[in-house]
Structure 1
Amino acid sequence: MSDESWDFTSFDGVGLKIHELGTGRPVILLHGLFSNAETNWIKFGHARKLASSGFRVIMPDLRAHGESDAPHDPEAYPHDVLVQDTLALIAHLGLEDYDLGGFSLGARTTAKLLVEGASPRKAILAGMGLEGLAGWERRQDFFLEAIATKDTARRGDPHWLAIQFMKSQKIDTVAAAHLLRTFSDLDADQLAGIETPVQILCGTEDRDNGDPEKLADLLPNGIRTDIPGTHMSSVTKAELGEEMAAFLTSKNNL
């Protein structure tokens, strides 16, 4: 079972790299900020776990991440562009019966997709709590400051870990800064209207994006699942892929 990659031209001509593993029921997985499909889903075995459970795992490198294009033109970053990219990919693949999930920024994008008309059978919001889906301006400012101080910040600076991760993933910071300004907030009424069964999957030490229990309680068909780890370390745990597979293969919606 090997990872296959192919090129996709999105709605506005920007090129995205799509990674796939396995055959069977389609599930689209969206990675986190400053990450990519390899780091988030492939490296630690989560995609392989899903593929071995009967899924065709479809994993785009998001715009300005991984092997996808990272244009510097601000016009390449319209409002909620990652939502537009994912909807374009779903349409290109002709998917009507599929599952959808994401980690952190990918979870934020997944939630936005659910209120913008995407209709997966089930969805997964990993590394996400209620507060992480609103008040984006504060988080945006944090990451923009990390970009601005990437060459001057020292260990102990609150931006240090984000900067080191960004550097390790060879992020184009000009493109990333444009992308950070495209995200919009979700409010409680929008979230309460999501009827899709949703798994809220979060590390026991992860509150970077707020309270997962509050988010699960707000969603009509939300279920909270705990796994070991912090926001960063939970991605490395086998339990992430195992719990995703268990949720998606469950006969029950909840």
Structure 2
Amino acid sequence: MTTEFLPGFDGAPLAVHRLGQGRPVLLLHGLFSSAEVNWIKYGTARRIAEAGFAAIMPDLRAHGQSAAPHDPAAYPADVLVRDLVALVDGLGLTDFDLCGFSLGARTALKGVAEAGVAPRRLILSGMGLAGIRGWSGRIGFFLDAIARFGTIPREDPAYFAQAFMKSTGTDLVATRLLLESFAQARVDDLSAVTMPTLLLCGTEDDDNGSAEDLAAILPNARYAPMPGTHMTSVTKREFGEGIVSFLSD
């Protein structure tokens, strides 16, 4: 495993972790998480590397080891998509695959649909149609969890979000600014998403709506179920196996 720091769209240092040699696979983690939690801890990156790929795993802005500025100016609209474009350019990626989980999946899809990011193959996990077309509701839920952080009782639906933020040491100020930056952003035109696309989602994961419905409206996509909820699917061996199978096909 190696780690380097590359500039985001505004020069903010973003941590990029790499494991393996071979065809590059850019992996984008979910909200309140990190490359360590989503890709490394449960062996997914290792499975990808052992299959002959280079797993390239940035920590998104305001997450993990990357910069988490408290200046609102560091969070313009579509900031994560801007960072994605900067990382693809900075890494010199011209022939690569792209995979995202939850917020990472939404960022990957917006990058392809709206910013000209052009992977050979695309994997969207932990994401469904409601997470693309109805994202503002999810943002409101997480902003409320941040506002009530430390006081949310166990019976509250936001309790598990609070627990996850505690476990990952989430920077509440930076993450709030990040969420507010794309509160109104939508993905309307998906016609550019023409590459082979896999919707890899847990059978008990409906946090972002139906992955099957999202696959149905993408030009060249298919749905693949795997075990797990939104929180547990990244811990399953089937997660890495599903990624490798699709990229090796």
TM-score range, shorter chain: over 0.9
- SS of equivalent residue, structure 1 residue 191: coil
Q: In structure 2, what is the Cα distance between the partners aligned to 1:247 and 1:77? A: 34
Which of 2, 5, 14 is the equivalent residue of 1:4?
Answer: 2
Matches within 5 A, 1:71-86: 71-86=69-84
Question: Is 1:29 aligned to residue 23 of structure 2?
Answer: no
Report what 1:44 is aligned to.
Answer: 42
CA offsets 1:71-126 (integer angstroms, 9 cap, x no match): 00000001111111111011011111000010000000010011121110000000
- SS of equivalent residue, structure 1 residue 156: coil
Change (3 A) 1:193 1:12: closer
Code of the residue aligned with 2:67 in structure 1: it is D
Q: In structure 1, what is the Cα distance between the partners aligned to 2:15 and 2:192? A: 32
Q: In structure 1, what is the Cα distance between the partners aligned to 2:191 and 2:156? A: 37
Shift of 1:160: 0.3
Q: In structure 2, what is the Cα distance between the partners aligned to 1:191 and 1:11? A: 24
Report what 1:135 is aligned to.
Answer: 134
Question: Is 1:118 aligned to residue 117 of structure 2?
Answer: yes
- SS of equivalent residue, structure 1 residue 246: helix
TM-score (norm: length of structure 2):
0.97
Contact 1:228–1:239 under 8 Å retained in 2: yes
Matches within 5 A, 1:165-176: 165-176=164-175
Q: In structure 2, what is the Cα distance between the partners aligned to 1:38 and 1:96? A: 25
Report what 1:92 is aligned to.
Answer: 90
Shift of 1:193: 4.0
TM-score (norm: length of structure 1):
0.95
Q: In structure 2, what is the Cα distance between the partners aligned to 1:17 and 1:118? A: 20
Code of the residue aligned with 2:176 in structure 1: it is A
Which of 10, 17, 23 is the equivalent residue of 1:19?
Answer: 17
Q: In structure 2, what is the Cα distance between the partners aligned to 1:246 and 1:36? A: 23
Q: In structure 1, what is the Cα distance between the partners aligned to 2:128 and 2:155? A: 25
Code of the residue aligned with 1:248 in structure 2: it is L
Contact 2:146–2:172 under 8 Å retained in 1: yes
Q: In structure 1, what is the Cα distance between the partners aligned to 2:48 and 2:140? A: 35
Shift of 1:191: 2.0
Question: Is 1:226 aligned to residue 231 of structure 2?
Answer: no
What percentage of residue pairs aligned between the two structures are identical?
55
Ranges in structure 2 where 5+ consecutive residues have no aligned partner: none
Shift of 1:182: 2.1
Shift of 1:220: 1.3
Code of the residue aligned with 2:8 in structure 1: it is S
CA offsets 1:7-62 (integer angstroms, 9 cap, x no match): 11222121111100001001100000000000000011111111111111100000
Q: Aligned pair count?
A: 246
Report what 1:65 is aligned to.
Answer: 63
- SS of equivalent residue, structure 1 residue 181: helix
Q: In structure 1, what is the Cα distance between the partners aligned to 2:52 and 2:151? A: 47
Q: In structure 1, what is the Cα distance between the partners aligned to 2:17 and 2:99? A: 15
Shift of 1:192: 4.1
Contact 2:112–2:192 under 8 Å retained in 1: no
Report what 2:154 is aligned to.
Answer: 155
Contact 1:193–1:219 under 8 Å retained in 2: no
- SS of equivalent residue, structure 1 residue 146: helix
Alignment RMSD, CA only? 0.8
Q: Stretches of 4+ moved more than 6 A in 1?
A: none
Q: In structure 2, what is the Cα distance between the partners aligned to 1:125 and 1:156? A: 31
Report what 1:186 is aligned to.
Answer: 187
